[in-house]
A and B are shown apart, each in its own frame.
Chain A
Amino acid sequence: MSTDLAFALRGVGAAVGSFTLRDVSFELPMGYVMGFIGANGAGKTTTIRCLLGMQPIQTGQIEVLGHRVPGPAALRQDIGMVLDHGYLVRDWRLSQVERALRPFYDTWDGTRYRHLLDEFGLDPRAKVKDLSRGMTIKLMITVALSHHARLLILDEPTSGLDPAARNELSGMIGDYLTDEGHSVLFSTHITSDLERIGDYVTLIHDGRIVSTGTKDEILDSYRIARGGPDDLRDPVGVELIGARRTPFGIEALVRTDEADLLDEAVVVEAPTLEELAVHIAGPGPRHTPGRAPESGSDQAPDRDAAPRQAHPTITTRRIS
Chain B
Amino acid sequence: MTAMTRMAVLDLRTIAAYHRQTLLTAAVAILGLARQPVFVVPALAWVVPLTVGMLFQISDKEDLQILYAVLPLTRHAVLAGHYLWALAAFLTTTAVGTPLALVLARAQNVSFPGRALAAVLTVSWAICAITIAIQIPLFTRFGYTRVSALTTFLPMLLIGLVAPRLHLTVTTPTPADLVLLGLAGAIALLASFTIAVAADRSRASRSSWSRPAGSR
Contacts and interface: CB of A to CB of B under 8 A. Distances in A.
Interface of A: 16-17, 19, 40-46, 49, 52-56, 73-77, 79, 81, 83-92, 96, 99-101, 103-105, 155-156, 159, 207
Contacts of A45: 208-209, 211, 215-216
A52 B73 CA distance: 12
Nearest to A92: B17
B204 A103 contact: no
Contact of A105 (B62, B63, B72, B207): B72
Contacts of A49: 208-209
Nearest to A79: B70
Interface residues on B, range: 35 or more
14 contacts: A45-B211, A54-B207, A73-B74, A73-B77, A74-B72, A76-B72, A89-B58, A91-B17, A92-B17, A103-B6, A103-B10, A104-B6, A104-B72, A159-B212
B64 A89 contact: yes
A104 B72 CA distance: 7
Interface of B: 1, 3, 6, 9-10, 13-14, 17-18, 58, 62-64, 66-67, 69-74, 77, 204-216
B216 A96 contact: no
Contacts of B9: 103
Given A103-B9, A156-B212, A54 B204 contact: yes
10 A-B pairs with least C-beta separation: A91-B17, A87-B66, A40-B214, A76-B72, A87-B63, A81-B70, A100-B13, A103-B6, A73-B74, A77-B72
B143 to A, nearest CB: 16
A41 B216 CA distance: 4
B70 A91 contact: no
B208 A104 contact: no
Contacts of A207: 216
A291 to B, nearest CB: 23
A150 B212 CA distance: 27
Nearest to B58: A89
Contacts of A85: 63, 210-211
Given A56-B204, A103-B1, A73 B73 contact: yes
A16 B62 contact: no
B204 A87 contact: no
Contact of B13 (A19, A43, A79, A96): A96
Nearest to A40: B214
B215 A41 contact: yes
A75 B70 CA distance: 10
Contact of B64 (A56, A77, A87): A87
A79 B70 CA distance: 8
Contacts of A44: 215-216
Given A81-B70, A91-B18, A100-B13, 19 more contacts: A16-B208, A17-B206, A41-B216, A45-B209, A45-B216, A46-B208, A46-B216, A76-B73, A83-B209, A84-B211, A86-B63, A87-B67, A88-B62, A89-B13, A89-B62, A90-B62, A96-B13, A99-B13, A103-B6
